[in-house]
Amino acid sequence: MSPISSQLSLKSMNSRHLRSSLPHRLLTGAAALSMCLFSGCSNSEFLAVTDPDILNPEDIETAAGAASLRLGALSRFVTAFDGGGDAFTVVTGNLADELRSSDTFDGRILPNRRFMNDNLPEMTGTYLNLHRARTAASNAITVTTRVAPAQTLNIGELYMYRAFTENFFGEMYCSGVPFSETDGSTTTFGDPLTTVQIYSRSVASFDSALALVGTNATLLNGARVGKGRVLLNLGQFTAAAAAVASVPTTFKLASNHCFGGNCTDNGNYLAAAQPSSRYTPANNEGINGLNFLPAVADPRLPWVASTRAGFNTLFQNMPVPLKVCPSYRGTGCPGTRNTTGENVLADGIEARLIEYEARLQGKTQDDRDFVFAQLNVLRQTGISGFPVAVLAGTAPTTDAAAVTQLFNERAYWMYLTGHRLGDLRRLVRQYGRDAESVFPTGEQQVPLSGPYGTDVNFPVPAQEKNNPKFTGCLDRKA
């Protein structure tokens, strides 16, 4: 059996994303059965019918096939990032302080409690989808480079999304994630990688993207912000600020969703806004959690009260975070199944916040004054037509207070975009904060009970032990 970290091959790409550009020459199972019924055929002949959902390598060794692989890879990325109720944006917010589990399954309750093992089926799917996205991008890069090397823009785009996926592994999981590879017939088992090695791999992928996307503003700026994010994770603040310096504050790269058979649902909506959802917005969770349901309106954190109950019906009157609804800052989401909308992957606001964090490394009052003033500029200009009230008072007078203020601003600007867990881990790793002063701690809020644990990341699922090189996390440190 192949390791979970390599479970996507050229033979297993779902044909939903491929049929439009491949020859319509494969028989469906129903057509084959009809031929047998009317003309007769042996069992072996029927069982040998080609499955239209399985593509052989020769089917994609063309420019059209490479284009279809690209679409499949992009779909895989959206599914992993925010395309399901247990997508990256959701489960990382659950371990952090953005969401609480309103479920009855331990696979979602235990991450929220910070008390996990490596055998939680619901979280295995998240890990698998991230590897599917990574491997799909790698396969599409390989094929496109071979059969359509002039498509440098598409190749660069694939490198960018692969880079984001690699970064997600570093932010979400313990040290020791292996990256196995497959060409459809042979699996090369990956060695467990340290968190630094994972981030370094992501930086290299972003560099490849930047070298190939040319002047395409969306991909160029998306890769710049992504690289800046990873460099922050590595503690390379000056390089991170340089990476994003030319990104306009108005830039936005978002995943888009629609409702229907050929669409990917908005996983944030599924998780936290639909009836009987398995997650609910958190507010001041576990002593340290931030106020994500402010009484004073904040356009970055729009929400409304509702009468929704959770999947666990002990959760009643769960609020709806309108950010996950199609009518962002609107009122149309409650009570209606509507999984359309968008979720931001990278934007110019993040670019500015990266620059401000780098400036704070100077540790002078001038630096703190500058950042305080710029945070207020961003509040007034960051959401066109929806200014945020300025921060009261004057700049913090200590480094610790300035860092706390900046990270709070990051949390509000980038709510439910998959940044919060990585930021909490950075507060521990880079700024020396005690984990129990950063993550939810103490006693769980009603209707749940019992103490929080001490986890600060997710373990690699036990299924990865099919890889003979992997025996478990190298460590569970932040």
Q: What is the mean pLDDT of residues 78-92?
A: 96
Residue appearing with tokens 């619901």: 122
The residue-averaged pLDDT of 225-252 equals: 98
Domains of the chain from N-terminus onward: 1-18+55-347 (1.25.40.390)
Residue-wise pLDDT for 365-397, tens only, equals 999 999 999 999 999 998 777 889 999 999 999
Summarised one tens digit per residue, pLDDT across range 186-210 is 889 999 999 999 999 999 999 999 9
pLDDT of residue 27: 25
pTM of the model: 0.88
110-126: b (≥16 Cβ within 10 Å) or e? bbbbbebebebebbbbb
Provide the percentage of residues in the chain whose pLDDT is more than 90. Answer: 75
CA–CA separation, 451 and 439 (whole Å): 13
Higher pLDDT, 63 or 117: 117
- DSSP type of residue 258: -
Residue 149 pLDDT greater than 80, yes or no: yes
Asked if residue 183 has pLDDT above 90, the reply is no
Which two tokens mark 67? 């284009």
Question: In the chain, what are the helix, strand and coil shares in percent, each to the nearest 5?
Answer: 50, 10, 45
Per residue in 278-328, pLDDT tens?
999 999 999 999 999 999 989 999 999 999 999 999 999 999 998 888 655
pLDDT of residue 337: 59
Mean pLDDT on 327-353: 75
Distance CA 378, CA 290 (A): 20
Distance CA 117, CA 133 (A): 24
Beta strands in 338-427 (DSSP E): 341-347
Residues listed for the chain: 478
Q: Write 428-437 long-range contacts (CB < 8 A, 24+).
A: 428/456, 428/478, 429/235, 429/477, 429/478, 430/235, 431/400, 431/403, 435/478, 436/288, 437/288
pLDDT at 37 over 50: no
Query: Quick check: 22 pLDDT over 90?
Result: no
How far is 344 from 410, CA to CA, in rounded Å?
13
